[in-house]
Structure formats: C-alpha cells, structure tokens
Amino acid sequence: MAGICCGVVGESEPSAPAEPSSRGSRLRILDPLPFKFVADRAVPPLSENGRKRHRIEVLPSEGIEGRKPRKARVEEEKVKGVADIKVARTDGSLNSRENVQVEPQECPKFGLTSVCGRRRDMEDAVSVAPSFCSESRQKPNGLHLFGVFDGHGCSHVAIKCKKRLHEIVREEIGRCKESSVQWKEAMERSFARMDNEVEWSDVAKTSNCRCELQTPHCDAVGSTAVVAIVTPDKIIVANCGDSRAVLCRNGVAIPLSSDHKPDRPDELERIQNAGGRVIYWDGARVLGVLAMSRAIGDNYLKPYVIPDPEVTIMDRTAEDECLILASDGLWDVVSNDTACGVARMCLRAQRPPSPPRSPGSDLAVGANAESSDKACSDASILLTKLALARHSTDNVSVVVVDLKRDR
C-alpha cells in the first residue's frame, strides 16, 4: 500500500518527494555525551530507532476535538471585514461575497486528531486559535490560526510552539501600522521570535519532559511548524520543516507548503553554502543527524538548520473546500490527492442535500450546521485511521478546516 501511495505522491507532487526512508526516526541522535550522564540520569540507552525510552511525560491530553464555530463581536468588525474583501476580491467571485459580509468573523468549522500511533512518545502538538486577534482593537477579528508542530528529540519545543506561537503572531500583526498586514514579514518575524524563545526559554520552569531540559540534550530538540491563518479572504501558510498544508479546491489538491528536506536541491545548496553537509544515513540528514532542513529549535545544527518559514499567501475562492494540516505521520503514507479526496468525501457526505439517513436519525436538517463540524472531525479521524492502516510508524496529527461558506 505504501508503495502505491508513494507512486501517487511522486506523480502529483514533484515538490514534495515522499522518501520511504523518512519513516525512520527523524532525529538520529549521535550521542557525544559521556556515559556518565546516562548513568547519572538512569536513562536507558537509545532504543527504538534512535528514540529514547523515556520517563512518563505529562502532556495536556490532546485527543480529538471538534469545535463549534464561535461567533465573536460581529457588529464591531462588520465594516472592516467588508472593506477588506472589497480590496481583495478582484477575481469576481461575487457569489461568495454576500456570505462573507454577513459573518466575516465566524471561525471556520474544523476537526482535529492527534495520536501517538505506533510510537510510544507523543511529540506532536496541535494548536487551534479561533479569532486569535480579537483582543487587539485595531486589528481584524476574523483571523483564525491553525498549527501543527511535530517535535523531535523531545516534545517541549512543539508544546512551546503550541502555547506561544499564536500569541507571538498576534503581537507581530499588532505591530503592522497599515490596515493591511505584511504577512510574509510578520510570519518570518514570528518564527524567528519563536525560535529565540525556545533557545532562551526558562529551563527551570518547564522541566517536565523526557529530556529534562539538560544541555546539551536540550539543544538537540526541535519541532516542525506549519501554521495556517485563515482570514475572510486569504489563507496564509507559514511552514518550517516537513509537516504540510494542503488546500482542497474544487477536488484538486494544492500544496500550500513545500517540505524542507535536506535533499531538496535549493535546501541542499543552502546548507552546503553555509558550510554544512547532508549525509545519507537512513535518508538524507543534515550532518547525518536531522532528516529535515528547517526547524524551530535545534540550536546545535545552526546555521545549517534554520527556523525561517516559507510563506504562501493564497486568495480564498468559492471553490475552496477544505484545508488539511498534518504531520508527516500522515503524509509519509497518504498522498495529497488521496487526503483531499477523503476529507472532501467526509464533508460532502454530510452537506445538504445529504443522502437520506436512516429513519429516526437525530441528524435532522436543523442539525446540519453542527454535523458539518462532526464531518471535519470525522475527516480528521478517517485520515488518521488511514495513516495507521498504512502502517505509519510516526505520531499522526491532522487538522481539517472546512472552507465552504455557501451553506
């Protein structure tokens, strides 16, 4: 199955090669540390493909969630929302404009699933921040942030990104003087700040994780970050690492990010120009260690591994169906096209006019608005199940955002 899938990926996504080898551990830990440390901490030696068996880790239980859309302060932002749309909508998609005017701030429906899968450590973190700028007065309310962070080495960088990145992005947006946000710059600054915070984070406060924030082990910890900000008229995706965002538009899968793999030609060149090397050892790895070329954290691999995001800004259209953000636990075994197809099928199956349900079903017409939320949740679960069915060996995190507005 995985073989078939890789074929599909290869054909349809030239920019994102699916290396079968990337299914191994992301981080090959070359432990330069003396035995003393290991003995001292009573940590068993490396196992499970270079991952460590670990102490029990208290994570905020991620599980699976589906959220109802949140309506927030419609009156205040109505005028501004309309103004934004008039500026942006030059493509003449008038039919969706009215809907947008009615509820420009409503958070799109979404579902998320984040599971350990065949790993024993959970290193993924997912963040969903609806109307995350609603506190700042001068900035648009209709901004919603979704992020997937796939940690390596330990989970604390991913968790920190989940907790902080949306706040940093909010502050950076707040700094923009003009009414239109310079997204690329704002996201680049946000990622740089996030990386900086991880580097200088207060060690004592959060040492509740496997690595116990011991240097230099703590330096060998990082996370991918793929963040999508959904505005009334745009989707902004900032990506760093090998998690991925894919837009499903009219049945076609459009990748909104391109994986940062060490063997991506431009990345390889960048690393080599910085004096680094890419060594093929269980796949292409920076210095033979890390199987991705950009990440938040990973201080010891700087400047070869950088935290700079690539930013994609996409105008929303009426044909947009959904947005999928996921960690490579999904993308290693499920192609973009298949993922979009599955998500789309879940969303459409519950959209009116829906196929007749069994009599006595409590999902009547009135419940449609709610059930679509369930549809997102189902889509994320189904994608996760598919990844596990295809023997994904990694943590799997999937966020599905429903972008349809004409309901």
Partner 1 sequence: MATSDGLPSDQQRSRCCFLEWMRLQESDLAELLEALSLRDDPGDRHRRQLIGRNIEHFEEYIGKRRSLSQEDVAGFFAPAWNTAIENSMMWLAGCRPSIFVRLVYVLCGAEVEASLSEFVEGARMGNLGELTASQLAGINALQIDPTMHLTKHIYCMQGRTIGEEEKLTSRMASLQEKIADQPIVAIARRTNQGVEPGSEADAALDECEREMLAIMGDADRLRLNTLKEMVGALTPPQAVDFLVASKKLHLCIHEWGKRRNHKHGRD
**Chain residues in the site for partner 1 (CB under 8 A):** 1, 4, 8, 42, 54-56, 59, 61, 63-64, 113, 115-118, 120, 122, 251-252, 335, 337-338, 340-342, 344-346, 348-350, 355, 357-358, 374-375, 378, 381-382, 384-386, 388-391
Q: Which is nearer to partner 1, 186 or 333 (CB)?
A: 333
Q: Which is nearer to partner 1, 44 or 303 (CB)?
A: 44
What single-letter DSSP state applies at residue 299?
G
Quick one: CA dihedral 83, 89, 92, 96, positive or negative?
negative
Q: What does the alpha-carbon distance between residue 248 and residue 230 come to, in Å, rounded to a whole number?
A: 14
Q: Which is nearer to partner 1, 71 or 357 (CB)?
A: 357
Q: Which is nearer to partner 1, 49 or 182 (CB)?
A: 49
Closest approach, Cβ 64 to partner 1, in A, equals: 5
Q: What does the alpha-carbon distance between residue 285 and residue 64 come to, in Å, rounded to a whole number?
A: 32
Q: Which is nearer to partner 1, 165 or 248 (CB)?
A: 248
Closest approach, Cβ 68 to partner 1, in A, equals: 17
Closest approach, Cβ 336 to partner 1, in A, equals: 10
Task: Please enumerate in sequence order all residues whose Cβ is within 8 A of that of 55, keeping only pairs 6 or more positions apart, or say none.
Answer: 43, 210, 212
User: Can you give the three-state secondary structure of 70-122, one letter per residue?
Assistant: CCCCHHHHHHHHHHHHHHHCCCCCHHHHHHHHHCCCCCCCEEEEEECCCCCCC
Q: Which is nearer to partner 1, 97 or 249 (CB)?
A: 249
Residue matched to tokens 């003087």: 177
Closest approach, Cβ 116 to partner 1, in A, equals: 6
Closest approach, Cβ 172 to partner 1, in A, equals: 34
Q: Which is nearer to partner 1, 6 or 88 (CB)?
A: 6
* Segments in 303-402 forming alpha helices (H): 328-331, 336-349, 368-389
Q: What does the alpha-carbon distance between residue 109 and residue 128 come to, in Å, rounded to a whole number?
A: 11
- DSSP string for 151-166: EESSSHHHHHHHHHHH
Q: What does the alpha-carbon distance between residue 110 and residue 128 come to, in Å, rounded to a whole number?
A: 9
Closest approach, Cβ 402 to partner 1, in A, equals: 15
Q: Which is nearer to partner 1, 56 or 94 (CB)?
A: 56
Closest approach, Cβ 203 to partner 1, in A, equals: 23
CB 143 within 8 A of CB 230: yes
The helix (run of H) or strand (run of E) holding residue 170 is helix 156-175
Q: Which is nearer to partner 1, 63 or 275 (CB)?
A: 63
Closest approach, Cβ 379 to partner 1, in A, equals: 10
Closest approach, Cβ 255 to partner 1, in A, equals: 15
- DSSP string for 23-50: GS-SB-----S-HHHHHHHTPPPPBTTT
CA distances, 57 to each of 61, 122, 261 (Å): 11, 9, 29
Closest approach, Cβ 285 to partner 1, in A, equals: 28
Q: Which is nearer to partner 1, 73 or 120 (CB)?
A: 120
Closest approach, Cβ 342 to partner 1, in A, equals: 7
Cα of 306 vs its chain's centroid, Å = 18
CB 22 within 8 A of CB 330: no
Q: What does the alpha-carbon distance between residue 249 and residue 229 come to, in Å, rounded to a whole number?
A: 17
Q: Which is nearer to partner 1, 2 or 313 (CB)?
A: 2
CB 284 within 8 A of CB 278: yes
Token couple for 81: 């929302």
Q: What does the alpha-carbon distance between residue 310 and residue 331 come to, in Å, rounded to a whole number?
A: 19
